[in-house]
């Protein structure tokens, strides 16, 4: 939430983003928003992340500090990646 409410904190974090497209999106989007829009977006974005917090499987996947593999490695080295995407598992 601080990222959306504290402008100096957002600027500090944006400077650390190495992807120019992502950094530009954050800087331009928030610069064009009024105070009311910024306050209204917080509940909207929070709702988008509820499943990440409440689903143990997803939380454990995205919460890891180091990935066991990279898609780049799989593709560059012609490896086979098998993922179970059955609805009951996700």
Distance (Å, whole) CA 33 – CA 76: 41
Stated pTM of the model: 0.51
pLDDT value for 83: 86
Q: Which runs of E-coded beta strand occur in the chain?
A: none
Residues in the chain with pLDDT < 70?
88-90
Q: Each residue of 71-90: pLDDT tens digit?
A: 999 999 999 999 888 876 55
Distance (Å, whole) CA 72 – CA 22: 20
């Amino acid at each position: 939430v601080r990222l959306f409410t504290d402008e100096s904190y957002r600027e500090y974090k944006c400077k650390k983003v190495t992807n120019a497209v992502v950094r530009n999106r954050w800087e331009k989007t928030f610069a064009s928003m009024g105070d009311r829009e910024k306050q209204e977006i917080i509940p909207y974005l929070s709702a988008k992340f509820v499943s990440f917090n409440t689903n143990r499987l997803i939380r454990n996947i995205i919460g890891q500090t180091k990935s066991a593999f990279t898609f780049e490695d799989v593709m560059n080295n012609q490896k086979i990646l098998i993922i179970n995407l059955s609805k009951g598992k996700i």
